[in-house]
């Protein structure tokens, strides 16, 4: 098995096998990050392809580890996903709301609930809440990064996140209490 740096160097020279190895390295991660934002498999596939094309066009300027490469392609895909989300969303990403979310805790206390119920409740949230929670909890972006990428105030992101978590907790609890469980 060739090391990452050798694969990267060969990919820079246009070696198709090396390009495919780079693609295989993170295509699932990139697709999943995109899908969580756009909620459409076809759009996520298109974004994934576009993210790799952009990355491969700029391989000469990339310097970093395998982990850095995965993070770079994922970041490109997240940015493209946010652009597509904003372009096609029928509702605005956020509401102008107050600064009541200054002290937000990421302690989501969902451990007692089945993951399927959490995913279902997350997918049923309004787009702004779902996107903010996804970018923060799943993709690990800071509030300032989300605000910058969305072109809105950090306080609005924090408020969206706090309200989204509150609604998510409520929805998960309601769903869980509706069905008998062991």
pLDDT digits (tens, 9 = 90+) for 32-89: 999 999 999 999 999 999 999 999 999 999 999 999 999 999 999 999 999 998 887 7
| Inter-CA distances, 155 with 14, 94, 95, 131, Å | 45, 11, 11, 16
Same domain, 63 and 14: yes
Structural domain span for residue 78: 4-88
> Is residue 172 predicted with pLDDT exceeding 90?
no
Domain count, the chain: 2
| Inter-CA distances, 152 with 1, 6, 84, 179, Å | 45, 41, 16, 39
pLDDT digits (tens, 9 = 90+) for 18-33: 999 999 999 999 999 9
Torsion of CA 47, 78, 117, 160, to 10 degrees: -130
Same domain, 128 and 83: no
Output the pTM of the full model. 0.78
Same domain, 83 and 39: yes
Q: What's the whole-number average pLDDT of the chain? A: 85
CATH, residue 165? 1.10.10.10
Average pLDDT over residues 149-156: 89
């Amino acid at each position: 098995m060739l090391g990452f740096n050798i694969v990267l160097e060969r990919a820079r020279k246009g070696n198709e096998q090396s390009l495919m190895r780079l693609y295989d390295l993170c295509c699932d991660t990139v697709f999943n990050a995109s899908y969580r934002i756009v909620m459409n498999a076809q759009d996520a596939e298109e974004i994934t392809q576009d993210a790799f094309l952009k990355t491969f066009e700029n391989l000469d300027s990339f310097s970093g580890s395998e982990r850095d490469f995965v993070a770079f392609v994922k970041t490109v895909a997240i940015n493209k996903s946010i652009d597509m989300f904003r372009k096609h969303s029928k509702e605005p990403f956020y509401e102008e709301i107050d600064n009541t979310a200054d002290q937000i805790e990421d302690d989501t206390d969902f451990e007692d609930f089945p993951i399927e119920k959490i995913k279902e409740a997350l997918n049923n949230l309004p787009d702004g809440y779902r996107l903010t929670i996804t970018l923060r909890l799943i993709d690990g972006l800071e509030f300032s990064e989300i605000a910058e990428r969305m072109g809105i105030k950090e306080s609005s992101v924090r408020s969206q996140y706090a309200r989204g978590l509150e609604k998510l907790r409520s929805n998960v609890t309601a769903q869980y209490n509706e069905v008998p469980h062991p």
